Amino acid sequence: MRGTTSAMTMTRPDRSAYHWGEDGLAGISDDKQLLCFSLALWNNKDPILKERLFGLTNSESNNGEDVKEYYFYIDSTPTHSYMKYLYKYPQVAFPYGDLVATNKGRNRGEMEYELLDTSVFNGDSTGTLRSMKIASCS
């Protein structure tokens, strides 16, 4: 049986439906996961909307599965009536192919090739979603 991570490479997520909303950016849901909400971003350079975090599968990486983005849940209430989330989003084209090719070409003894190793954050090319406040719906 194949795991979901080996079946879901970077070229396939935009063709699959959200079932439970667990993989969206800064995603939240109600207690029964009937209503799910998450962000979709676009930097005007990528061919797709940024709806999910980009990561490598076991076969694409030299050290196992790994998310190649920078995101932080800074603060939140249990109900998400208040939530603060930090996401580092490059304002140049995201280096999907470079990250896959470089990591796939490395052996397990080498360090992983990370997003910071690319040039996407050089200079003033970072769009940062500093905070997001969500009002309670109850």
Is 136 inside any structural domain?
no
* Number of domains composing the chain: 1
Q: What is the pTM of this model?
A: 0.74
Sheet strand arrangement including 126-129 = 70-76, 83-90, 126-129
Which contiguous run of DSSP H or E holds residue 102? helix 96-104
Is 21 inside any structural domain?
yes
Q: Residue 23: phi, psi to the nearest 5?
A: -110, 15
DSSP conformational letter for 75: E
For residue 24, which of 5, 3, 41 has the smallest C-alpha distance?
Answer: 41
Is 15 inside any structural domain?
yes
20-70 pLDDT, tens digit each: 556 788 888 777 877 778 888 888 898 888 888 888 888 888 877 888 999
Domain range for 26: 4-129
68-120 pLDDT, tens digit each: 999 888 888 887 788 888 888 888 899 999 999 999 899 888 899 999 999 88
- Kindly tell me the sign of the dihedral angle through the C-alpha atoms of 58, 62, 64, 69: negative
